[in-house]
Structures are given as C-alpha cells and as structure tokens.
C-alpha cells in the first residue's frame, strides 16, 4: 500500500448519522441483499448512460474467491489491519458489524477464501465533477462516494429527453446497498470519466469507503464512517481520491483489471461480499426483465455475468415460468397490440379538484391452472425498465390465475417517482415527498390503485368457466332491465354497434362468504363488492339492490322460502333487514360499494345467496 494512503474516520457532529444507522433508510424493505445490489447498481448505470454515444450501457458483473497471495495483496492495499486495530472500540451496533469482526479475525489466514464481487459499467459518465463539492448532478463522485441522501437527479431532470431515458434513482441513499452486501461494510470505487473544469485535471479516481460502527477513541467521538485515500486539507472531507496513474496503479496492485481512460464508467468492488453471482443473476431476471424486451435498443441491458469459477452465465428470464407471462404483457404494452388472450386497458382516474387524466396502461393475461406460481395473481408495477413491485393486492387469489403489468403514463411519471420508497420497491400514495411536491397526487395514486384492482377482478370474472349463480342472475337481469340505461360508449363514424354479452355496466364480485357455527344454528354471511364498469355511460349511479338467502334444503331435505337477513354497509349502517328487502347504494367507477349480509340459519340447512341490482327510478336517464 502506498504510504500516502490512510484511513480517516469522520468525527461525530450534531447533525451526523451513525454509520450503522445509515442502513435504516433501506431497512424497511423485503428485498434480499442480491436484489438490493442489482437494483441499485443498474439504476446507477442506466441513469448515467452517456448521451453522446449511441450505444447502450454495457455492464460486467464478476465474482472471485481470493486465496493466498491474491488475498494478502488485497488485504494489504486496503490496509485492513488498521480496521482490525480499530475494532476493539466498536460496540455491538445491533450486529451491524458482527460478520465483519469474524472476517477480520481470520483476515491473515491465506486458506480462508475472501469473496469479492465487482460490477463495472461502460458507455457511462463515470464519477467526474467536483470531488469535494456537490453543486449539481454533474458532481457525480461526491454524490456517489462521499455524500448520503439529497440526490439532485430529479430536481434537475429535464422535461424532454432524447431517447426516452429518465433517471431511476431519486433519494441518494441507494449506495448503502453496496455496503450492506459487504461483511466488512467496505466499498471500493474506481472510475474513468471525461475531465472538465471542475475535475482539476483528473480523468480517473479511486477511493474506498467504510461504514463501520460509531465509537469513541481517545476521548473523541466518531460516527463510524471512514475513507481510505490521500489525506486532504478539507475539514469535511479529510480524505481525497487517488487520481489518474496513481489510481490505475493502485487497482492493479489489488489485482483488478485496469480501466482504459477512454472507456468511461465506474467499477464498484465489494470486498468480503455476502452475495454471489448466481443469486445476483436471478435477482436481475426478476426485477430487470423489462429491459430485455424493450423495443428501444438504447434502453436494453447488455450485461455479462461471470461467476466465482470463471464461467459466463447468461440471463434467461423467458425460461422462467414465473416471469414469462409478465414479459408477454409488457411487450404488448410497449408495441400497443392487445392480442388474443390479453386484456389491455387504459387507467384513467380523476383526482380531487383535477380533470380526469390518463394514469397509465395495464395489460392482463390469463394463466393456466397448472401455471400457478408464487407470482400468480400479481400485477408487476414497472417504471423505466425496472419492476418496482409485484403487487398481490389487485387480483383475487381465489379466482382464475392471471398475470398483469402496469406501466405509468409518461406525463405523470413524476407522481410515481416521488411516491417511491427509498429502496424504490413500492409506490405509496401517503408518501410525504409526494404530497409536498404534488398535493393532488395522493388521491390520484389511490384512485389509480383502485382502478387497477377493479380491472383485474373484472378480467378474472371473464375467465370463470361457470359464473356463480348470483352473478349470472344479476348479469341476465341487467341485460334485460338496464339495456337502455347504461349505454356503450359512443363510436365514431357509422361503425356497427355490436353488443357484447360479457360487458356489463355494473360489476358484482362476491369477495367472501361462509358460515360461523353456533351450536344447532349458525350465522350465514356474505360480502359483495358492487361498482360500475368502464363501459357504463356515467361515472356514478344510484342503484337498487336486493340480496336474498334461499334455503335449498331444510333439515328434512325440502326446499323452503327465502330467509330473512340483515344487510349493512362498510361503515356498519343497516341498509336492509327482513325477507327480500331492497336497498339503495351509490357507486362509481372509482368508488365501489361493499355490502355485507348475514342471517341466522339452522346448521343442517343448505343455503344459497343471490343478488339482483337495478337502477333507482329517479336516477333513470331521460
């Protein structure tokens, strides 16, 4: 190791965050370490594609297991002995550095493998700009290596972009994903870039960061964050990166490939890695498959995976039964072709105080019963080539299995960006960032989710081989009685109007039903969800409904008359009580009505619920 390189630990300050707590921003996620790694790493790479090169970003991910001299050289160049000496001052820190302590205890044993993961991108901007200041998004080194939080990506995002590219990152905390994948919480950064007036003649930089444990030493409090580089005269940044030939030479001594100055981009190296290439590849397939079917070549992923044994692994997301249907749906959305066996719908909603607008598009595909997997009946929420989340809250697990994909409308893309969690794995309508930026957006997003759910349930309803009796009865009733009340949307020109018996103005789903035993008697219950389909002529309507409980067979096996029941709304208010008592409800496309019915019956009776709906008299169209 060069004598010019030293570890510098940052002192604690009034506003500083302990290093072990910096992970908390990413802690509220179900993503596993390989998933966090590949999502964050590729976000950075795709965000930094050079616009002056008409090529997609190229990425190389490689794993190694170092032994003997290779391990000893890396340990020496990283000066891990200094971290071992410091370790006596580290506390438990909620097990943040527990695995790191075990690694350091065996760091001098050449027979103990030392795993390393590296990811390098090319045709990317690299880490140029000021190294010690963050005045704009061009100060990429400071933003990625030295700063936590406060990303400037979306604050400076241009409204128009040449290739449809938009930044995926927006918080500035994602870099902690790298530290979380190292038992030593240590990350090596090595980058080549086009020099500019702010880079002080540098076109290559290298530095190491460590997120260790807050501690006290010699009466001084330290936050646990440390940097390995050249000592600087900066108070806030006591270490500075090695540059140009010194940086290249240092990486060569560590045993890593030396970048060409013209091959701009960044290499991130994870020593003492807790993840492996095979798991990273599977995570890539699961979350980045939209990039493999994107019709725009500049947005496609060009990634090479090399495992710890030197074998080249090829991603094959289409070979995965749990992903292929999502890929088919996404491709339909991208090319604008619904195709047989698919349902593609625009998702239009109206937030409070705003005009109705297009939120995005959704495509559904039916799965075969034997195609069911852990992602069946999920809807993939996709933004700019990344699956943000597989939402299970939209479709019913009790219905025919489907797969779906939702893609936001470009005109409202910032709503989705500012609704995302720090780990970019969910859209939250109650996100403070969202409501601060766009006060109308929480309601807009909430209505979008409700609309996706409605469309998913409607699509599942069309797949039923034999619709439930109450749905069939209600549908036939609606065909006869509501034919003139709910009109199809007007067509242009003289196109022939072809009625579709499967398109209903009112949607009815039975979400749950059953019987709670109570001795010789039991409580029979059912819940219906009633709303308007997108084919209704109006956005809302007052309906008259009738829920009936019929005894198919009493204790003697004979059919009897209807049984009295009590119907309540979602708030518990009584809507109807007795035998065949109708009630009124107000429903809309964006606000379905959930009603509950219950009745006390003999435990030996066989019963059946049914429902009928018509439009209230005073709500008839003229």
pLDDT digit string, tens, across residues 442-467: 999 999 999 999 999 999 998 885 34
Alpha helices, DSSP H, located in 412-496: 413-419, 432-437, 441-462, 469-481
pLDDT at 441 > cutoff 80: yes
Question: What whole-number distance in Å separates Cα of residue 477 and Cα of residue 506?
Answer: 11
Q: How far is CA 334 from CA 185, 290, 364, 401, in A?
A: 40, 10, 14, 23
Q: DSSP character for 487?
A: P
pLDDT at 393 > cutoff 60: yes
Question: What whole-number distance in Å separates Cα of residue 313 and Cα of residue 293?
Answer: 19
The region of weakest confidence among 260-269, 402-411, 490-499 is: 490-499
Question: Residue 608 — very low, low, confident or very high, per pLDDT cuts 50/70/90?
Answer: confident
Model confidence pLDDT, tens digit, residues 221-247? 999 999 999 999 888 899 999 999 999
Model confidence pLDDT, tens digit, residues 549-584? 888 877 776 776 788 899 998 888 889 988 888 888
What pLDDT is attached to residue 573?
Answer: 86
Strand pairing partners for 207? 189
What pLDDT is attached to residue 259?
Answer: 97
pLDDT at 154 > cutoff 60: no
Q: DSSP character for 49?
A: B
- Share of residues in the chain with pLDDT > 70 (%): 84
**Phi and psi angles of residue 370, each rounded to the nearest 5 degrees, phi first:** -90, 5
In this prediction, residues 406-424 reach a mean pLDDT of: 93
Summary mean pLDDT of the chain: 85
Better-scored residue on pLDDT, 301 or 313 = 313
What pLDDT is attached to residue 63?
Answer: 98
- 502 and 462 in contact (C-beta within 8 Å)? yes
**Of the spans 378-387, 501-510, 515-524, which averages the highest pLDDT?**
378-387
pTM (2 decimals)?
0.73
What CATH number has the domain spanning 469-619? 2.60.40
Task: Give the three-class secondary structure for 151.
Answer: coil
- Residue spans of the domains in the chain: they are 5-314, 324-462, 469-619
What pLDDT is attached to residue 137?
Answer: 82
pLDDT at 354 > cutoff 80: yes
Report the candidate in 341, 301, 347 with the shortest Cα–Cα distance to residue 325: 341
What pLDDT is attached to residue 94?
Answer: 61
User: CB-based contacts of 519: which residues, under 8 Å, 6+ apart?
Assistant: 603
What pLDDT is attached to residue 153?
Answer: 46
pLDDT at 492 > cutoff 60: no
Model confidence pLDDT, tens digit, residues 164-180? 344 444 334 667 899 99
What pLDDT is attached to residue 606?
Answer: 83
Interhelix angle for 244-254 vs 68-77, to 10°?
A: 140
Question: What whole-number distance in Å separates Cα of residue 321 and Cα of residue 375?
Answer: 10
pLDDT at 538 > cutoff 90: no
What pLDDT is attached to residue 2?
Answer: 60
Look at the block and give the residue holding tokens 């009733």: 477
pLDDT at 373 > cutoff 80: yes
What pLDDT is attached to residue 149?
Answer: 55
- 214 and 20 in contact (C-beta within 8 Å)? yes
Strand pairing partners for 205? 191, 243
What pLDDT is attached to residue 93?
Answer: 57
How do strand 606-615 and strand 540-553 relate by DSSP bridges?
A: antiparallel
pLDDT at 498 > cutoff 60: no
Strand pairing partners for 86? none
In this prediction, residues 204-212 reach a mean pLDDT of: 96
What pLDDT is attached to residue 3?
Answer: 61
Question: Residue 338 — very low, low, confident or very high, per pLDDT cuts 50/70/90?
Answer: low
Look at the block and give the residue holding tokens 């076109």: 203
Alpha helices, DSSP H, located in 139-276: 140-141, 176-180, 244-254
Q: CA 207, 213, 218: angle at the middle one, nearest 5?
A: 95
What pLDDT is attached to residue 405?
Answer: 98
In this prediction, residues 523-539 reach a mean pLDDT of: 81
Question: What whole-number distance in Å separates Cα of residue 571 and Cα of residue 32?
Answer: 39
Written as six digits, the tokens of 241 are 């990166």
Question: What whole-number distance in Å separates Cα of residue 317 and Cα of residue 287?
Answer: 10
Better-scored residue on pLDDT, 4 or 5 = 5
**Number of helices (H) and strands (E), helices first, in the chain?**
13, 26
- 538 and 545 in contact (C-beta within 8 Å)? no
- 286 and 425 in contact (C-beta within 8 Å)? no
In this prediction, residues 531-546 reach a mean pLDDT of: 77
Strand pairing partners for 524? 515, 599
What pLDDT is attached to residue 347?
Answer: 95
Better-scored residue on pLDDT, 285 or 2 = 285
């Amino acid at each position: 190791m060069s004598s010019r390189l030293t570890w510098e630990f940052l002192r604690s300050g009034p506003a500083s965050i302990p290093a072990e707590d910096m992970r908390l921003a990413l802690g509220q996620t179900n993503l596993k370490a390989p998933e966090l790694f590949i999502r964050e790493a590729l976000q950075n790479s795709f965000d930094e594609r050079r616009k002056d090169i008409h090529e997609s970003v190229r990425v190389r991910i490689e794993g190694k297991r170092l032994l003997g001299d290779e391990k000893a050289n890396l340990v020496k160049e990283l000066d891990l002995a200094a971290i071992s000496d410091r370790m006596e001052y580290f506390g438990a820190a909620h097990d943040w550095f527990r695995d790191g302590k075990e690694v350091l205890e065996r760091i001098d044993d050449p027979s103990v493998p030392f795993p390393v993961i590296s990811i390098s991108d090319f045709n990317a901007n690299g880490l140029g700009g000021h190294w010690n200041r963050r005045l704009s998004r061009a100060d990429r080194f400071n933003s990625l290596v030295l700063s936590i939080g406060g990303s400037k990506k979306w604050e400076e995002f241009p409204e128009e972009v040449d290739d449809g590219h938009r930044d995926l990152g927006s918080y500035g905390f994602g870099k902690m994903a790298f530290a979380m994948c190292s038992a030593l919480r240590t990350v090596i950064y090595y980058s080549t870039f086009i020099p500019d007036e702010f880079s002080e003649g540098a076109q290559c930089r290298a530095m190491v960061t460590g997120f260790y444990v807050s501690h006290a030493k010699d009466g001084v409090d330290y936050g646990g964050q440390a940097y390995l580089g050249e000592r600087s005269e900066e108070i806030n940044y006591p270490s500075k990166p090695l540059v140009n030939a010194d940086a290249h030479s240092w990486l060569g001594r560590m045993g890593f490939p030396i970048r060409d100055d013209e091959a701009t981009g960044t290499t991130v190296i994870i020593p003492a890695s807790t993840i492996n290439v095979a798991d990273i590849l599977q995570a890539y397939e699961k979350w980045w498959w939209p990039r493999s079917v994107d019709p725009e070549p500049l947005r496609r992923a060009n990634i090479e995976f090399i495992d710890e044994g030197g074998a080249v692994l090829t991603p094959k997301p289409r070979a995965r039964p749990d992903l292929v249907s999502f890929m088919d749906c996404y491709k339909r959305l991208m090319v604008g072709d619904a195709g047989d066996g698919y349902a593609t719908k625009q998702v239009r909603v109206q937030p409070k105080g705003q005009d109705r607008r297009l939120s995005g598009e959704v495509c559904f595909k039916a799965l075969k019963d034997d195609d069911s997997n852990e992602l069946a009946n999920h809807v993939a929420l996709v933004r700019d080539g990344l699956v943000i989340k597989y939402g299970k809250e939209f479709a019913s697990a009790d219905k025919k299995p489907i797969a779906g994909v939702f893609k936001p409308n470009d005109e409202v893309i910032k709503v989705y960006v500012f609704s995302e969690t720090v780990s970019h794995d969910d859209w939250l309508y109650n996100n403070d960032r969202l409501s601060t930026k766009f006060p109308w957006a929480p309601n807009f997003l909430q209505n979008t989710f409700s609309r996706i759910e409605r469309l998913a349930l409607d699509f599942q309803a069309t797949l039923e081989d034999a619709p439930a009796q109450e749905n069939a009865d209600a549908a036939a009733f609606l065909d006869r009685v509501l034919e003139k009340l709910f009109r199809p949307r007007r067509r242009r020109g003289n196109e022939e109007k072809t009625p579709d018996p499967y398109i209903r103005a009112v949607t009815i789903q039975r979400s749950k039903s059953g019987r709670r035993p109570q001795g010789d008697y039991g409580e029979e219950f059912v819940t219906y969800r009633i709303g308007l389909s997108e084919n209704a002529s109006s956005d809302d309507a007052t309906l008259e409904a009738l829920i009936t409980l019929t005894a198919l067979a009493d204790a003697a096996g004979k059919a009897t008359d209807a049984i009295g029941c009590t119907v309540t709304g979602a708030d518990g208010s009584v809507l109807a009580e007795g035998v065949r008592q109708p009630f009124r409800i107000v429903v809309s496309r964006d606000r379905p009505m959930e009603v509950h019915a219950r009745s006390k019956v003999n435990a030996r009776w066989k019963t059946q619920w049914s429902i009928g709906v018509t439009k209230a008299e005073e709500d008839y169209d003229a």
